[in-house]
Amino acid sequence: MKVLVIVNPTASNGKGLTDYKNEISGLLENILGKFDVVFTESQEHAWKIAKKAEGYDRVISVGGDGTLNEVVNGLIEGGHDIPVGIIGVGTGNDFIRTLGIPNNYPDMVKNALGNKFIECDLLYTEFTDFNGRVQKRYAVNVVGTGFDAAVTTRFNRLRFKFRGTFSYLMSFFIEFLVT
């Protein structure tokens, strides 16, 4: 099986890179032997990588929900019908919890490389971004507007983040107080 692994090294405040190097890469090597890996360098880089994923049997997203979203959008834009595996190293990992995927790396790797597939709906949305441009996106998990979007924007701008819900709750309360 020819596999492309797209790693977001900044996921969960750098935990993505540390966990990939210390644990995830070894688990992948034990099962696959060889695979291709690319580390994202900026926002939307996973999108660009996935868009060019011609000839792969599987693409694995190593990051959070945002990385997964970019991978899916890139595959769609590139016209690729390739299964996506998820190894969640993000702060929230909401989508993994929604799917019931165990939150430990050995099980996530087995699921990402296995033959049991979960089909899910994608949400298509068109919106005007902060620069006034109309954007078109597919959402894998949720679409938020208004207060929800303001909380997410605040969360993304936090200088210090903690894994899990604490950072989201902090962003929620700050946004609630200033709104």
Query: From residue 22, how far is each of 27, 61, 97 by CA, in Å?
Result: 10, 17, 23
Catalytic site residue from 19, 65, 107, 129: 65
Calpha distance 127→143 (Å, rounded): 11
Nearest residue to 138 (alpha-carbon basis) of 47, 53, 64, 61: 47
Residue in the structure block whose two tokens are 């165990």: 102
Residue 148: active-site member: no
H or E element in which residue 171 lies: helix 166-178
User: Would you name the residues annotated as active-site residues?
Assistant: 65
